[in-house]
A and B are shown apart, each in its own frame.
Chain A
Amino acid sequence: MQIAKDWRIQRHRYSLIGTECVSCGLHMFPPREVCLQCTSHDMKEYYFSGNGVIYSFSQLFIPALEHVENTPYIIALVSLDEGPLVVAQLTDVDYGDVEINMPVEMVTRKLSSDGQKGIIRYAYKFRPKLLC
């Protein structure tokens, strides 16, 4: 991964910031400049609540290169309350307890690192929604 690129989109990764189409109201994550639904270019930033439910999930035993030390890890498509799907890793949950439609919430966690001298990458993950 490249440092400049990671730096450029860190706001969206740390705060789950996407876009809302001013024209048709569609919410999108990650941000887009052209609406997926109505192709309008009129967009504004939108802060997602981070709440959603599991739409699908998978446990990976053949990892992406930067995730070797976490293998196996669980990924999920999360259906956010505001509409869009987001793909992310799950955390604080055993694979056997994950199921479709399970409520989850976003947390910020360490995702990967470049060893002792490299950067540490943080990003959103999702965990089972805590009762409060």
Chain B
Amino acid sequence: MNQEKQVYISSVGFTNVGEHWNESIAQLAMSAITDVLDGTSIDQFDHIFVGNMMSSVISQQHNVGSFIADYCGFNGVPVVTIESAGSSGATAFHQAVLSILSGQINTALVLGVEKMTDSIGSSIYDVMSVGSDNDWELFHGVTLSGIAGLIMRRYMYQHNISNELFANFSINAHNNGANNSNAMFRNKINLERYLQANIVASPMNILDCAPDADGACAIVLTNECIEFSPGNHIRVAASNMSNSVLPLHDRSDILIFDAAHNSANMAYHQAGINAAQVDVAEIYDQFSIYAAMSLEACGFVQEGNGVDLANQGGIDINGVIPISTFGGLKSRGNPGGATGVYQIAEIALQLAGLAGVNQVRDPQWALAQCLGSSGGTAVTHILEKINIK
């Protein structure tokens, strides 16, 4: 990161993740923006960055950033819509950070928003799967969950493990999500329910899969060192994006998230820390196999050991690397282009000691990693708490 300039989080704001049948995409956005503005004295923005994946198709609205900015009363503020499939929100945040570091702007409003439920059933899965290689994957009926099923089968084969060993990713996510009032699924689950769950894309069952949902999350960024919570500054210590081969069939090893690995390593370099120093992480647990591979890509465990970590208590709130502490994609829900912003906002709350029952003990460094197109794109952020008491 540029040593001369710094970027700080001033405030975060949420809507609850779920099925908002009565709200439009602009109303969802307004709800998160109202919440974020409650937590900051900043009300003038130099630029607005909107992460959204699918409004052009689902809500049939292009230039949704401008549409939302107008609805929310930001007339005259430049706004751009940013899309990189599932990582759209994290990419919007990344672009906001780069813009502040460039010196061209001082304050930014980042919004991640997705209105999934204006499309339902298989049509929504198709829209989401368009983030993969349409001509050579979706055309053949290969959906996002199908891709994850193919990866999980191969992972189980090469590491000689059974599918029940993946259960703890979902059990942990639901345990944590139960305490998050913004989470979509607040029920706890157990191994018995996991083993009885319906198959989606074998060997993967419905409890291996994150639910798609509506949601909006907003973050205010500034170059000023202002408090996030009493006595705490939250600094963006690293902001990094990486791309790799998008279609599964062209990857040199389908069991390695290259982009996630590269993005995490560059983020550690920027922040000047290593993986062992990260106190809490939000990773992209869209499918439990992705959680295992993301733990490996981020260097929290050796390749092939992601599942072991989950079964040894390593990902629990008191584990060596707590993940999905607000429920993750699995329990909080996966509001597409908003997900990356939720992840960053959640680790900011952890650092500030505002995570309630799920608070990790005195974290200083937190990582959020968001993936797009089944890991073809990866965006990693590291936040640091600076205590000024």
Chain A interface residues toward B at CB < 8 A = 1, 5, 9, 28-30, 32, 36, 55-68, 70, 73, 75-77, 84-89, 95, 100, 111-112, 121, 123
B122 and A87 contacting across the interface, CB-CB below 8 Å: no
A56's contact among B126, B140, B157, B252, by CB below 8 Å, is which?
Answer: B157
A77 and B254 contacting across the interface, CB-CB below 8 Å: yes
Q: With CB as the reference atom, state the residue of chain B lying closest to A5.
A: B135
What residues of chain A lie closer than 8 Å to B245, measured between beta carbons?
36
User: Nearest-CB distance from A126 to chain B (Å)?
Assistant: 11
What residues of chain A lie closer than 8 Å to B126, measured between beta carbons?
64-65
- Is B141 located at the chain interface by the 8 A CB criterion? yes
- Is B137 located at the chain interface by the 8 A CB criterion? yes
Question: Once the chains are docked, how many angstroms separate the CA of A67 from the CA of B135?
Answer: 15
Tally of contact residues, B, Cβ under 8 A: 36
Question: Once the chains are docked, how many angstroms separate the CA of A65 from the CA of B124?
Answer: 9
B200 and A62 contacting across the interface, CB-CB below 8 Å: yes
What residues of chain B lie closer than 8 Å to A60, measured between beta carbons?
141, 143, 145-146, 149, 200-201
A61 and B198 contacting across the interface, CB-CB below 8 Å: yes
A87 and B201 contacting across the interface, CB-CB below 8 Å: no
Q: With CB as the reference atom, state the residue of chain A lying closest to B157.
A: A100
A64 and B157 contacting across the interface, CB-CB below 8 Å: no
What residues of chain B lie closer than 8 Å to A61, measured between beta carbons?
198-201
Question: Once the chains are docked, how many angstroms separate the CA of A121 from the CA of B201?
Answer: 23
A58 and B146 contacting across the interface, CB-CB below 8 Å: yes
Given the known interface contacts A56-B151, A56-B153, the answer about A85 and B145 at a Cβ–Cβ threshold of 8 Å is: no
Question: Once the chains are docked, how many angstroms separate the CA of A91 from the CA of B204?
Answer: 21
A70 and B150 contacting across the interface, CB-CB below 8 Å: no
- Is B139 located at the chain interface by the 8 A CB criterion? yes
A68 and B249 contacting across the interface, CB-CB below 8 Å: no
Given the known interface contacts A1-B139, A57-B153, A58-B202, the answer about A63 and B122 at a Cβ–Cβ threshold of 8 Å is: yes
Question: Once the chains are docked, how many angstroms separate the CA of A111 from the CA of B217?
Answer: 40
A85's contact among B153, B198, B204, B249, by CB below 8 Å, is which?
Answer: B249
Given the known interface contacts A56-B151, A61-B198, A61-B201, the answer about A67 and B248 at a Cβ–Cβ threshold of 8 Å is: no
B201 and A89 contacting across the interface, CB-CB below 8 Å: no
Given the known interface contacts A65-B123, A87-B248, A111-B140, the answer about A77 and B150 at a Cβ–Cβ threshold of 8 Å is: yes
User: Nearest-CB distance from A120 to chain B (Å)?
Assistant: 14
B151 and A64 contacting across the interface, CB-CB below 8 Å: no
B250 and A84 contacting across the interface, CB-CB below 8 Å: yes
B139 and A58 contacting across the interface, CB-CB below 8 Å: no
- Is B105 located at the chain interface by the 8 A CB criterion? no
Can you list 12 pairs linking A and B with CB atoms under 8 Å apart? A32-B250, A36-B245, A56-B154, A56-B157, A60-B143, A61-B199, A61-B200, A66-B141, A75-B140, A75-B150, A112-B141, A121-B139
A73 and B141 contacting across the interface, CB-CB below 8 Å: yes
Lowest 5 CB-CB distances: which A-B pairs, in order?
A: A58-B149, A67-B141, A56-B154, A85-B249, A59-B202
Question: Once the chains are docked, how many angstroms separate the CA of A66 from the CA of B139?
Answer: 8
